[in-house]
């Protein structure tokens, strides 16, 4: 698994240091869209030499190279997502969890068509679909 993660980083032009590999492994294994502070808190016991600066710099590099995306449903909180496929995010207003919302190809195409028609003359670099409500776990 670590060799595979190393190759993914190398293919994105990222030098695969131990910390970078472990941070990417953490992101791949934790689909909760963690914050930088959550990543640090969860990893510091396993890697005592890890610093918050390393976390922030690594996440910045991953973002710049298109390896992860940022999720900013709330103004004061940035979370990170290694899933670069087209999908949306749902934030539960009760438990605070953030969940991926996947779309089939026809919905993705419809959204792209709508956006393309509305932003003519612009160069769209990214888009986000954020939904808020109460998740199915909190509703039951």
For 51-64, the pLDDT digits (tens) are 999 999 999 999 99
Please check whether the domain covering 2-81 is classified as CATH 3.40.50.300: no
Residue 24 has pLDDT above 90, yes or no: yes
Tell me how far CA of residue 120 lies from CA of 61, 109, 114, 123, 128, in angstroms: 31, 16, 11, 8, 18
Give residue 135's pLDDT: 95
Q: Where are the domains of the chain?
A: 2-81, 87-139
The fold for domain 87-139 equals Dna Ligase; domain 1 (3.30.1490)
Is residue 65 scored above 80 in pLDDT? Answer: yes
DSSP H helices in 1-140: 2-11, 18-29, 36-43, 52-64, 105-118, 136-139
Percent over 70 (pLDDT), the chain: 99
CB 26 within 8 A of CB 42: yes
Residue 72 and residue 79: Cα distance in Å, rounded?
6
pLDDT tens, residue by residue, 96-113: 999 999 888 788 778 778
With b meaning 16 or more CB within 10 Å and e meaning fewer, what string describes 76-87? eeebbbbeeeee
At CA 104, angle to CA 134 and CA 28, rounded to 5?
Answer: 70
Instruction: Check residues 93 and 109 and name the one with the higher pLDDT.
Output: 93
């Amino acid at each position: 698994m670590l060799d595979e993660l190393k190759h993914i980083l190398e293919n994105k032009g990222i030098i695969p240091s131990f910390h970078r590999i472990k941070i990417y492994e953490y992101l791949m294994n934790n689909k909760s869209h963690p914050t930088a502070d959550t990543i640090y808190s969860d990893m510091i016991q396993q890697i005592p030499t890890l610093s918050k600066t390393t976390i922030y710099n690594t996440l910045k590099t991953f973002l710049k190279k298109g390896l992860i995306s940022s999720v900013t449903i709330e103004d004061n909180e940035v979370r990170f997502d290694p899933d670069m496929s087209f999908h949306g995010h749902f934030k539960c207003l009760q438990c605070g969890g953030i969940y991926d919302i996947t779309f089939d190809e026809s919905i993705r195409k419809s959204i792209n068509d709508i956006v393309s028609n509305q932003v003519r003359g612009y160069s769209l670099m990214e888009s986000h679909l954020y939904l808020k409500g109460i998740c199915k776990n909190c509703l039951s």
